[in-house]
């Protein structure tokens, strides 16, 4: 028998087992110890900016019971009582938000590209409006760091970078907890822009520990497009508690003073000529502004929610929040789709796969046990839709009150037409001492 034959027999006799770190692949049992040291699924050392649960918020003493019945299992009387609570808590709230649908020249060519599919065009309209709102708040300028939460492919940062042209010292930090294909941030090679992608859950992100921020001490602009439920609350706490509070405790040097010391007369003239000088904050502020397109309130979480204090002041608690959060999906789900609508939806999904667009253009809704059509019939479809919007508004109002308490002037507005996206509300906030136009809830 040849040596090759002996080797083949030995290979066949060796036993393969599932990798304990990731059962999706196998490994020779006698090589397990060696494999575990180099397996791609092994736990890697945490970066300095990872601090467990730093943005999670305090665990509430009154946790939501594990076995709450779904809304569809509530009696008609229980559901009526919930809706009465909701309407009482919402008294005095402005249910009609201001239309702030904008655009930006940076996306002009892309918006008018005849090759765009329906889904791609909708995403571009949303990105253009968010960018227009960023500029309207005087947040689009040099010497700052844009932190995009839930960055996905990084398209929002991409358009901000395009709009800023050759503005000096612009940094982008793209935060996304999952591995993302077809990223666009790697295509940027401008000398004045720096892109850094962090694969981390916002819950554990400490911005103060990122070398780029601790070194440059640039004001942050927090941005996001369709930031799902709980991620919005985590991002707000990450910005205004973890980062801003820490910077103020360290008593950072005022930005205006550093700019005056750093810039040459030539740079000042160049910035003035480009119209960017007016967009340099006069006062040092760790967080210069927040512009986040909201999404998926049914994915919120009581523990992480920043508006607990607001809810408690209204006599509401964890269980009420749980049901309001579930009912919020009524705003975008509507009644069960007809066969024709389902066919159109299937076509949109194919478009989405072809153009590489991001998710949530339809509100991310699925027919679930808590969907409107599975509930008792004492409410019409239109009434359920209004209740869903009221739930979303109440949850967002808690965020508004939170930001006000933290020294910001926040606002909610419609930034796109509901035909473009059912999730069409934009949350913006500026620090109270900002020279930008005043905004309010």
**pLDDT of 72 above 90:** no
Q: Does residue 272 or residue 55 have the better pLDDT? A: 55
Q: Which of 46-55, 149-158, 264-273, 286-295 has the weakest average pLDDT? A: 264-273
Q: What percent of the chain has pLDDT over 70?
A: 73
Report the half-sphere exposure of 126 (CA within 13 A, side-chain side).
31
**pLDDT of 218 above 50:** yes
Q: Which of 59-63, 129-133, 246-250, 289-293 has the weakest average pLDDT? A: 246-250
Quote the pLDDT of residue 239.
Answer: 96
pTM (2 decimals)? 0.80
214 falls in which pLDDT band (50, 70, 90)? confident
| 290 contacts 147 by C-beta, under 8 angstroms | no
Quote the pLDDT of residue 244.
Answer: 77
Quote the pLDDT of residue 438.
Answer: 39
**pLDDT of 89 above 60:** yes
Quote the pLDDT of residue 95.
Answer: 83
**pLDDT of 421 above 90:** yes
**pLDDT of 281 above 60:** no
Q: What is the mean pLDDT of residues 311-324?
A: 95
**pLDDT of 141 above 60:** yes
**pLDDT of 193 above 60:** yes
Quote the pLDDT of residue 439.
Answer: 38
Mean pLDDT estimate for the chain = 81
Encode pLDDT of 370-415 as tens digits.
554 455 567 888 999 999 999 999 999 999 999 999 999 999 999 9
**pLDDT of 315 above 90:** yes
**pLDDT of 426 above 90:** yes
The whole-angstrom separation of Cα 92 and Cα 111 is: 39
**pLDDT of 432 above 70:** yes
Q: Does residue 13 or residue 27 have the better pLDDT? A: 27
Quote the pLDDT of residue 36.
Answer: 84
Encode pLDDT of 258-275 as tens digits.
444 444 444 434 444 444
Quote the pLDDT of residue 423.
Answer: 95
Token pair 């497009």 is at which residue? 225
Quote the pLDDT of residue 43.
Answer: 78
**pLDDT of 361 above 50:** no
The highest-confidence range among 99-108, 236-245, 346-355, by mean pLDDT, is 99-108
| 160 contacts 172 by C-beta, under 8 angstroms | yes
292 falls in which pLDDT band (50, 70, 90)? very high
Q: What percent of the chain has pLDDT over 90?
A: 53
Quote the pLDDT of residue 350.
Answer: 40
**pLDDT of 46 above 60:** yes
Quote the pLDDT of residue 6.
Answer: 55
The whole-angstrom separation of Cα 32 and Cα 35 is: 5
């Amino acid at each position: 028998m040849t040596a090759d034959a002996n080797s083949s027999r030995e290979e066949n006799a060796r036993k393969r087992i599932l990798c304990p770190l990731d059962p999706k692949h196998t490994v020779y049992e006698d090589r397990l110890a060696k494999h575990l040291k180099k397996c791609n699924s092994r736990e890697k050392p945490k970066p300095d900016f990872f601090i467990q649960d730093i943005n999670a918020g305090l665990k509430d003493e009154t946790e939501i019971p594990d076995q709450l019945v779904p809304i569809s299992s509530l009696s008609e009387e229980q559901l009526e009582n919930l809706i009465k609570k909701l309407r009482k808590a919402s008294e005095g709230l402005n249910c009609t938000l201001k239309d702030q649908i904008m655009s930006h020249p940076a996306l002009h060519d892309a918006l008018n590209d005849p090759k765009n599919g329906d889904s791609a065009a909708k995403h571009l309209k949303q990105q253009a409006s968010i960018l227009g709102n960023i500029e309207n708040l005087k947040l689009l300028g040099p010497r700052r760091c844009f932190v995009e939460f839930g960055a996905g492919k990084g398209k929002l940062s991409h358009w901000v970078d395009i709009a800023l042209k050759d503005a000096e010292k612009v940094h982008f930090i793209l935060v996304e907890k999952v591995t993302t294909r077809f990223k666009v941030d790697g295509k940027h090679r401008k000398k004045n822009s720096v892109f850094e992608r962090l694969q981390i859950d916002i819950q554990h992100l400490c911005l103060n520990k990122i070398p780029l921020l601790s070194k440059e001490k640039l004001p942050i602009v927090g941005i996001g497009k369709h930031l799902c439920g709980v991620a919005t609350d985590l991002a707000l706490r990450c910005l205004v508690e973890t980062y801003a509070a820490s910077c103020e405790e360290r008593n950072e040097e005022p930005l205006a003073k550093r700019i005056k010391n750093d810039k040459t007369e030539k740079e000042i003239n160049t910035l003035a000529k480009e119209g960017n000088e007016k967009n340099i904050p006069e006062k040092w502020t760790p967080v210069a502004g927040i512009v986040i397109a909201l999404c998926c309130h049914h994915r919120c979480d009581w523990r992480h929610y920043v508006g607990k204090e607001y809810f408690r002041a209204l006599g509401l608690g964890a269980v009420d929040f749980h049901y309001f959060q579930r009912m919020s999906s009524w705003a975008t789900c509507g009644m069960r789709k007809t066969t024709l609508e389902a066919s159109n939806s299937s076509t949109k999904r194919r478009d989405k796969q072809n153009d590489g667009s991001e998710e949530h253009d339809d509100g991310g809704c699925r027919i679930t046990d808590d969907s409107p059509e599975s509930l008792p019939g004492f409410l019409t479809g239109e009434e359920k839709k209004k209740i869903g919007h009221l739930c979303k508004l109440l949850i967002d109002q808690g965020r508004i009150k939170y930001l006000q308490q933290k020294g910001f002037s926040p606002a909610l507005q419609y930034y796109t037409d509901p035909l473009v996206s059912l999730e069409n509300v934009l949350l913006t906030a500026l620090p109270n001492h900002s020279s930008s136009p005043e905004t309010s809830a």
